[in-house]
Amino acid sequence: MDKSESNSLKKKFFMHLKMKTMDIKKLILKTLELKTINFKTIKFKNINMKSFKLNKKMINWKRIDWKNFKATVGTIMKEPKRVIAIGFVSVMLISGIGITQSLVISMGSDVTMASDDEEVSYVEVMMNNQVLGYVPSVSVGQNMVEAARVNLIERMGYDPELTQDIKYIPQHGEKMIFTDEKELLEILENTMYAAIEDIKVKGFVMKIGDDFTVALESEEALKAVLEGAQKVYLEDESTVSVEMKKDPHNTLVMKPEIKVLQKELTVDRNFLTSATLSATAESEESGKVFESVVKEISLEQQIVVIEAFVNADEIVDVETATSMITKENEKVKTYTVQTGDSPSVIALSNGMTTRELYDLNAGLEERASKIQIGEELIVMVPEPELFVSSVEEVVYTEIIDKHKVYVDNPNAYIGTDEVLEPGVEGVLEVHALIKKLNGKEFDRVILEETVISEPTTEKILRGSKALPITNATGTFQVPMIKYRLTSKFGPRWGRMHTGIDLAGPRGTEIKAADGGRVIAAGWDGGYGYRVVIDHGNGMTSLYAHASAIYVKVGQDVGKYERIAAVGNTGNSTGPHLHFEIHVNGVRKDPMKYLKF
pLDDT at 106 over 70: no
Domain co-membership, 379 together with 473: no
Per-residue pLDDT at 465: 79
Q: Residues 378, 474: one domain?
A: no
pLDDT band at 473 (very low <50, low <70, confident <90, very high): confident
Q: What mean pLDDT is reported for the chain?
A: 75
Q: What pLDDT does 140 receive? A: 92
- Write down which residue in 146, 175, 194 finishes a domain: 194
Buried b / exposed e over 34-65, threshold 16 CB at 10 Å, is eeebeeeebeeeebebeebebeeeebeeeebe
187: pLDDT strictly greater than 60? yes
| Claim to verify: residue 55 and residue 172 sit in the same structural domain | yes
Residue 536 falls within a domain, yes or no?
yes
d(CA 315, CA 317): 7
What residues make up the domain containing 44?
3-194
Q: Does 442 score more than 70 pLDDT?
A: yes
Flag whether 350 is in a domain: yes
Neighbours of 183 (CB within 10 A): 11
Residue 289 lies in a domain: no
Residues 78, 183, single domain; the answer is yes
Our CA dihedral for 143, 144, 147, 151, rounded to 10 degrees, sits at -170
CA distances to 32, 43, 70, 71, 72 from 40, in Å? 18, 8, 12, 10, 9
Give me the pLDDT at residue 39, please. 41
Q: What is the mean pLDDT of residues 316-344?
A: 84
Same structural domain for residues 474 and 361?
A: no
Q: Is residue 510 part of a domain?
A: yes
277 confidence band (pLDDT: 50, 70, 90)? very low
| Tally of structural domains, the chain | 3
In a domain, 431, yes or no: no
Say how far apart CA 433 and CA 268 lie, in whole Å: 19
> Residue 328: its pLDDT value, please?
74
Inside any domain, residue 575: yes
CA atoms lying within 13 Å on the CB side of residue 73 = 9
8 A C-beta contact, residue 75 and residue 112: no
Of 194, 220, 251, which residue sits at a domain end? 194
- pLDDT value at residue 458: 93
What is the reported pLDDT for 145?
92
Chain-centroid distance, C-alpha 79: 69
Which is more confident, 345 or 512?
512
Is the domain of 28 the same as that of 156?
yes
**Which of the two residues, 158 and 565, has the higher pLDDT score?**
565
Domain for residue 530, yes or no? yes
Question: Tens digit of pLDDT for each residue in 553-576?
Answer: 999 998 889 999 999 998 888 899
Q: Does 239 score more than 80 pLDDT?
A: no
pLDDT of res. 15: 52
Q: What angle do CA 571, 573, 574 make, to 5 degrees?
A: 120
Higher pLDDT, 363 or 90: 363
Question: Which amino acid is residue 60, in one-letter code?
Answer: N
* Contact predicate 520/489, CB 8 Å: no
> What pLDDT does 278 receive?
38
Same domain for 165 and 35, yes or no, is yes
> Could you give the 3-state DSSP secondary structure of residue 405?
strand
Query: Which segment of 36-45, 258-267, 354-363, 462-471 scores lowest on mean pLDDT?
Result: 36-45
User: Are the C-beta atoms of 547 and 515 separated by less than 8 Å?
Assistant: no
Residue 2: pLDDT over 90 = no
- What average pLDDT does this structure show over 92-116? 34
In this structure, what DSSP letter does residue 381 have? E
Tens digits of residue pLDDT in 114-139:
444 457 889 999 988 889 999 999 99
The whole-number pLDDT of residue 299 equals: 78
Question: In 163-236, at which residue ranges do the beta strands (DSSP E only) sit?
Answer: 166-172, 200-208, 212-216
Task: Give the percent of the chain with pLDDT over 70.
Answer: 72
Tell me the mean pLDDT in the region 549-556: 93
271 HSE (CA, 13 A, CB side): 14
Q: Tell me the pLDDT tens digit for each residue of 382-424.
A: 777 788 888 888 888 888 888 889 999 988 877 678 889 999 9
Which tens digit of pLDDT belongs to each residue from 517-528?
Answer: 999 999 998 899
Both 19 and 129 in one domain: the answer is yes
Whether 285 has a pLDDT exceeding 70, the answer reads: no
Domain boundary (194, 225, 259) is at 194
In this structure, the answer to whether residues 502 and 362 fall within a common structural domain is no
What 8-state DSSP symbol labels residue 527? G
The reply to whether 148 and 24 lie within a common domain is yes
Q: What is the mean pLDDT of residues 528-557?
A: 93
pLDDT score for 250: 75
Residue 320 amino acid letter: T
Question: Quick one: pLDDT at residue 6?
Answer: 56
Q: Locate the DSSP E strands across 524-589.
A: 529-534, 539-549, 556-557, 562-566, 576-583, 586-588
Instruction: Give the integer Cα–Cα distance in Å for 218 and 493.
Output: 32
pLDDT at 210: 78
**In a shared domain, residues 364 and 480:** no
**Quick one: pLDDT band at residue 236, thresholds 50, 70, 90?**
low
pLDDT of 99 > 90? The answer is no
Contact 258, 230 (CB under 8 A): yes
What are the φ and ψ backbone dihedral angles of 418, each rounded to 5 degrees?
-135, 125
Query: pLDDT over 90 for what percent of the chain?
Result: 23
Whether the CB-CB separation of 319 and 224 falls below 8 Å is answered with no
Residues 361 and 480 in one domain: no
- Let me know if residue 567 belongs to a domain: yes
Q: What is the CATH number of the domain that holds 362?
A: 3.10.350.10
